[in-house]
Amino acid sequence: MDTAFQAIQSGICPTVPSGEQSRGRILAAAADILRTEPDNFSLQRVARRAGISARAVYGHFESGAELACIARLSTLNSIVEMLPTSVCSREQPEAAVRQFALSMAAALQSHGSAWLLLGRQDAQFRAEYRRSLRLPLVRSLNSYLVKHRHGARLAKISNAQLAELLVTAIESVVVNHDDDLALALECNDAIDHLVRAIFEAYL
């Protein structure tokens, strides 16, 4: 794991401690370019987007690679903070899982599916994505299913496998949904149908 990943995970900034406002603008500009124009990402473009000089960016980050790495992790942390932490036990199972799925989708959508797709292509980011985002979601769903899943279909797929399937399917809908190709089916409608289909098949 490189220095940037170690630093952000430990909460220690590897760069100049002053100018936190400028650093925030730089990270916001970097995240925006990674989301909207990933093929055109460069330190110079980030500087222009942030309205500061490239030299000022180098005062905070040693390279464009380090900046991209930290911007991705910063954005990931923002998504994680928005994710549901448990499935509501007061609702009926299908409604509870649907609510959980829609909350998860809203958090993922907050930073754009293109950015998520880009992140999945980076081995280090992908490992952190799974550790801090996917696994907690799978654990929450698994814990809920252990308590609420009943019936003869249980042997077809374990609770842990079903939880993984749900998270993967929801993530795939968000990442791959395209309004121009979806035949008027909105992302939330697609997730609603997905949860219903999975319940009919496995619950």
The interaxial angle of helices 187-202 and 93-109, nearest 10 deg, is 140
Averaged pLDDT for residues 49-78: 88
H or E element, residue 112: none
d(CA 123, CA 125): 6
One-letter amino acid for residue 29 of the chain: A
On the question of pLDDT at 2 being above 70, the answer is no
* Residue 42, C-beta contacts closer than 8 angstroms, at least 6 positions apart: 64
Please, which pLDDT band fits residue 117 given cuts at 50, 70 and 90?
low
Over residues 143-155, the pLDDT tens digits come to 998 888 765 455 5
